[in-house]
Structure 1
Amino acid sequence: MNDTSPTERLSKRLARTLGCSRRDAERYIAGGWVRLDGQVVEEPQFKISTQTLELAKGARVEEIPPATLLVHVGPDEFSAPDTASSEQAHAASLARQWLTHDTHWADDPDRRTPLKAHFRGQQALLSLSPGEQGLWVFSQDRRVIRRLAEDTSRLEQEWLVEVTGTLDAAQLESLCRGTALPGKQFAPGKVSWQSETRLRVAVKGMVPGQVQAMCAALGLGVVTIKRLRIGGVSLARVPAGQWRYLRVDERF
Structure 2
Amino acid sequence: MAERLQKILSQAGIASRRQAEALITAGRVRVNGAVVTELGAKADPVTDTITCDGKPVKPIGRKVYVLLYKPPGYMTTLKDPAGRPIVTDLLKGVGERVYPVGRLDYNTEGLLLLTNDGAWANSLAHPRHEVEKEYLVRIQGLPSADQIRQLEEGVVLDDGKTAPSKVRQLNSSQKNSWFSITIHEGRYRQVRRMCETVGLSVVRLKRIRYGSLDLGDLRPGQYRLLSPGEAEQMLA
Q: Counterpart in 2 of 1:29?
A: none
Of 208, 214, 218, which residue of structure 2 is paired with 1:234?
214
TM-superposed CA distance for 1:227, in Å, is: 0.8
Q: Note closer, same or farther for the CA distance 1:149–1:211 as it changes in structure 2 (3 Å cut).
A: closer
Q: Tell whether the 8 Å contact from 1:153 to 1:206 is kept in structure 2 after alignment.
A: no
Q: 1:145 to 1:95 in 2, by over 3 A?
A: same
Amino acid at match of 1:74: P
Residues in 2 aligned to 1:228 and 1:133: alpha-carbon distance in whole angstroms: 9
Matched, 1:203 2:183: yes
Higher fraction of strand: 2
Q: What is the DSSP-based 3-state SS (H/G/I as helix, E as strand, rest coil) of the residue aligned with 1:148?
A: helix
Name the residue aligned to 1:112: none
1:155 matched to 2:145: no
Residues 1:194 and 2:170 are matched in the alignment: yes
**Deviation by residue 1:199-246 (Cα, 9 ceiling, x = unmatched):** 101011132222212222333211111111111111211111110011
Cα distance in 2 for partners of 1:181, 1:71 equals 29
Structure 1 vs Structure 2 CA RMSD: 2.7
- What letter corresponds to residue 161 of structure 2 in structure 1? Q
Fraction of identical pairs, as percent: 25
Give the SS at the match of 2:133: strand
Counterpart amino acid of residue 71 in structure 2: G
1:176 aligns with 2:173: no
Aligned equivalent of 2:98: 122
* Matched ranges for 1:1-252 at <5 A: 65-76=62-73, 78-79=74-75, 87-90=77-80, 94-101=86-93, 118-151=94-127, 154-179=130-155, 184-196=160-172, 197-250=177-230, 251-252=233-234
CA distance in 2, matches of 1:125, 1:183: 21
Q: 2:95 is aligned with what amino acid?
A: F
TM-score, reference length from structure 2: 0.62
What residue identity is the alignment partner of 2:194?
M
Alpha-carbon deviations, 1:124-156, whole Å to 9, x = none? 111111111101111022442222233476111
Runs of 5+ consecutive residues of structure 2 not aligned to the other structure: 1-59
TM-score, normalised via structure 1 length: 0.58
Per-residue CA deviation, residues 12-47 of structure 1 (Å, 9 max, x unaligned), is xxxxxxxxxxxxxxxxxxxxxxxxxxxxxxxxxxxx
CA distance in 1, matches of 2:116, 2:158: 40
Listed as ranges, the gaps of 5+ residues in structure 1 are: 1-62, 81-86, 102-117
